Chains A and B, each alone.
Chain A
Amino acid sequence: MIIKQLSVFLENRAGRLTELTGILADNDINISAFSIADTTDFGILRVITGKPELAEKVLKENGFAVKITDVIGMIMPNKPGGLHRALQILTDNGISIEYMYAFATGDDRATAVIRTDTPQKAIEVLQMHKMELLQTGDVYQL
């Protein structure tokens, strides 16, 4: 249930992201989903990939500050109220979200990647409410 997300520190510098995507491409690593949090001076790239360990290794070898972060992937129906229902469950159970990003997969469903301090508890309450969660193996299919 826990998905290994790759987090990379990026200086705001022209071409830096392109260098990173080049390294991933050269190592045959596919990006399934990603988001960038940006501030004036730096950005944090968050990547979901089927090969997080390999990606961590090759990026470290190329001098990036990289970290593997545990996240969960929440699967929702891609229709009005889908996200709201899921968030309501988390809120009602006192689970706060550090950050999230979402993407639709084209098959009437959408996935939200969620970072919380209490991922195990989040998994439990979502499962209790019959919410579908992204499995590690699913990441390859995205």
Chain B
Amino acid sequence: MIWNEHHECMGRDQLATLQGERLRQMVERIYFNVPFYRNKLQEMGIEPGDIRTIDDLRKLPFTTKQDLRDNYPFGLFAVPQEEVVRFHASSGTTGKSTVVGYTHNDILMWSEVVARSLTMAGVTKHDIIQVAYGYGLFTGGLGLHYGAEKVGASVIPISGGNTMKQLQLLEDFGSTAIACTPSYAAFLGESIRDAKLDPSKIKLKAGIFGAEPWTEEMRAQIQNLLGLKAYDIYGLSEVIGPGVSMECSYQKGMHIFEDHFIPEIINPETGEVLPYGELGELVFTAVTKEALPLLRYRTRDLTRLHVDLCQCGRTLVRMEKCVGRSDDMLIIRGVNVFPSQVESVLLEMSETRPHYLLVVDRQNNLDTLEIQVEVEDQFFSDEVKELEGLRKRISGNLTSILGLHANVRLVEPGTIERSMGKAQRVVDKRKLS
């Protein structure tokens, strides 16, 4: 099923023409309405008339998260306040949060791309969908909510957390789809198992999971626990929220809705645009956004784009699962480490579960990496040699994947905080001193 065949299966040339026209209009809008961009373009000697086709995109300046912070809260908005109908904001763990705004048309466009996404996961008006992303300033809950209503599904706006209630509604309402973070999906699956619920009462067939990095191993685990097909959805509030791209049923990467969000892959060091297939930082220009149209927004996400035709018939480019967010990437003794690598090692081992915490510290000017892993009841042996053996196996597997020695510490079950939203996987003590 394809929600919007006209735009999702458009010929590439026709799409490029549409993108070029939309980019031209966008640059005009921001030049006249956003002083920050007008100054930048003037400094670079660019006038709106210079931007005519999509090939002119690379002449334009980048926008970074820092630009959003510097212009907090509304400095980059391109419309007056009376046209803004909604705000969302990022959690802002470092410094000020970033604020994003939406006009009425922005909300319609967002609902459209989420409707396309849900259709990829097979969600229709015949489905009951439990939206277990947080509702509020975070874009996950309301983003999925509006898209699900647009396809006509029956929405349960339960928001994140409240696990017992989630399980109850899964059973009583017979929800056929669920949207939440993958770590919460795994947690829900474990809770169903631990509560010994009758699996035949769980009717889930599709899960729409995103907002944090996850691995193929985790997909298998979630599918196994919840008995559904797990789909990856991607998005970020600066571009729109969830629904920037989404996996179709072939799951060969996430189709980017390029008629609204123009992707580029750049070398993060030099800013040079890289060809399809090469690994680099993902950059988006949201050409149809009204309230907050960002030019070439640098996502910090590292991935590759593929343009070859997908079996589903969509012509939209596909992005691979992000290798990591350059924000999540840790550099430990010069080695790049992503928490997702640790997760995939733990998921591959039958004795461990993906409850872990990376603790990075610096002792005598040398970085140290400790990985805390929970000991589960069923794998707990009361013999020291067995536990030491387990610890060494985990450590050995991690060392070979990370290319760096990791000291594994076994900790008591339940001591690593469970997340109802985005999981906190790293404590970097180096930044504190």
Using CB atoms and an 8 Å cutoff, list the residues of chain A in contact with chain B: 5, 7, 9-11, 37, 39, 41-42, 44, 46, 60, 63-67, 69, 98-99, 115
Contact = CB atoms under 8 A, between A and B. Distances in A.
A7 B382 contact: yes
Given A41-B409, A41-B410, A65 B384 contact: no
Given A9-B387, A39-B388, A41-B410, 14 more contacts: A5-B382, A41-B391, A42-B410, A42-B411, A44-B383, A63-B412, A63-B414, A64-B412, A64-B413, A66-B377, A67-B377, A67-B381, A115-B382, A115-B383
A9 B375 CA distance: 8
B168 interface: no
B415 interface: yes
A54 B83 CA distance: 64
Interface string B381-416: 111100110010000000000000000011111110
Contacts of B410: 9, 41-42
Contacts of B387: 9, 39, 42, 44
A67 B382 contact: yes
22 contacts: A7-B380, A11-B415, A37-B384, A39-B387, A44-B382, A44-B383, A44-B387, A46-B382, A60-B377, A63-B412, A63-B413, A63-B415, A64-B412, A64-B413, A65-B377, A66-B377, A66-B380, A67-B377, A67-B380, A67-B381, A98-B383, A99-B384
Find the residue from B387, B412, B413 having the highest chain A CB count within 10 A: B412
Contacts of A7: 380, 382
Nearest to B410: A42
Interface in B357-378: 375-377
Q: Does more than half of chain B's interface fall in helix, strand or loop, or is it mixed?
A: loop
A11 B382 CA distance: 13
Contacts, number: 53
Contacts of B384: 37, 39, 44, 99
Contacts of A99: 383-384
Contact of B380 (A5, A9, A39, A98): A9
A46 to B, nearest CB: 6
Contacts of B414: 63
Find the residue from A7, A41, A44, A46 having the highest chain B CB count within 10 A: A41
Nearest to B409: A41
A67 B384 CA distance: 14
B382 A69 contact: yes
A64 B411 CA distance: 10
A64 B383 CA distance: 16
B371 to A, nearest CB: 12
Find the residue from A10, A42, A44, A65 having the highest chain B CB count within 10 A: A65
Find the residue from B388, B391, B413 having the highest chain A CB count within 10 A: B413
Contacts of B388: 39
B424 to A, nearest CB: 19
Contact of A65 (B375, B383, B391, B409): B375
A49 B386 CA distance: 24
B417 to A, nearest CB: 13
